[in-house]
Amino acid sequence: MRTRLARILTTSFVLAVVLLPIYWLVSTSLKSNREITQEGTLYPHVPTLDNYVRLFTEKQFGSYLTNSLVVTFFSVAIALVVGAMGAYAIARFRLPFAMERKVGLFLLTLRIIPPVVILIPVYLLMLSLGLLDSWLGLIATYTAFNVTFCVWMMESFFREIPVELEEAAMVDGDSRFGAFRRITLPLAAPGLAATAIFAVLVTFNEFLFALALTATPRAMTMPRGTATLIGRIDTDWASMAAAGVIGALPIVLFALLVQRHLVRGLTMGAVK
């Protein structure tokens, strides 16, 4: 009985700690700025959707959302295709001088280096290529980041699939690449999904490079666009809260939808 009570109390406490800040964000987004600063209410007394409407009519959140979706889609899709092939080569082939293992280790090392280290040179590179403030500049950057961990994650998924299955397919007349495409790739689908989900999360949420590489609604992503609302002197709390909700909603819904794969992707590697 006592342990049950303790359980209920602990669970409610954890739920409250996680959810109260989110409640406050949503509740603020439904208030007017006057209600926020002058009345300090604990819930919206006069709920309004004005803040949301303003984001799309006055603040170009439609563009930010489009940019985010386009950039995330292409950089994850390209990285998945390219990464799956690379991972497969590392997992299955034995090259001279153990080259495939060296490439794998090299990509892992690149993965450990914090991205901030190459912020300046990537900025200079995009500047010289005329790719600042463009989809292409962001897509190229994010694809490269995604490739490093797609290879690393998918390699371990491919290793779990028995070679014998491919050998059987090849005996039946498949080419090497055909065996990869028809047998191994479908079997690795759950792993691919976990990798893709993780890549989507990281890419959609990325801020630092979006901050340095974009400057106008032409290419600004959601996190980058949201940050433009933060003035140094007067702060439009209501818009900021609404922008927070709009900015986080797609990715939270996505994460809850694919929860099982997500947990697998987040925790793998650590436990192995």
Rule CB under 8 A: which of 169-208 touch another protein? 170, 175-177, 201, 204-205, 207-208
151 or 188: CB nearest another protein: 151
Instruction: Work out which of 69, 70, 103, 185 binds another protein, going by CB under 8 A.
Output: 103
98 binds another protein (CB under 8 A): no
Contacts to another protein from residues 40-69, by CB under 8 A = 40-42
Range list of β-strands (E), the chain: none
- Residue 66 is encoded by which pair of tokens? 């489009």
- Residues 131-160 touching another protein, rule: CB under 8 A, are 140-141, 143-145, 147-148, 151
Quick check: 176 and 88 in contact, CB under 8 A? no
Query: Interface with another protein includes 267 (CB under 8 A)?
Result: yes
* Paired tokens of 61: 């959140």
CB atoms within 10 A of CB 171: 9
- Does residue 118 interact with another protein by CB under 8 A? yes
Among the listed residues 30, 55, 76, 243, the single contact to another protein using CB under 8 A = 243
Find the binder of another protein among 95, 98, 165, 215 (CB under 8 A): 95
Q: Which is nearer to another protein, 78 or 192 (CB)?
A: 78
The single residue among 109, 160, 168, 215 that binds another protein, judged by CB under 8 A, is 109
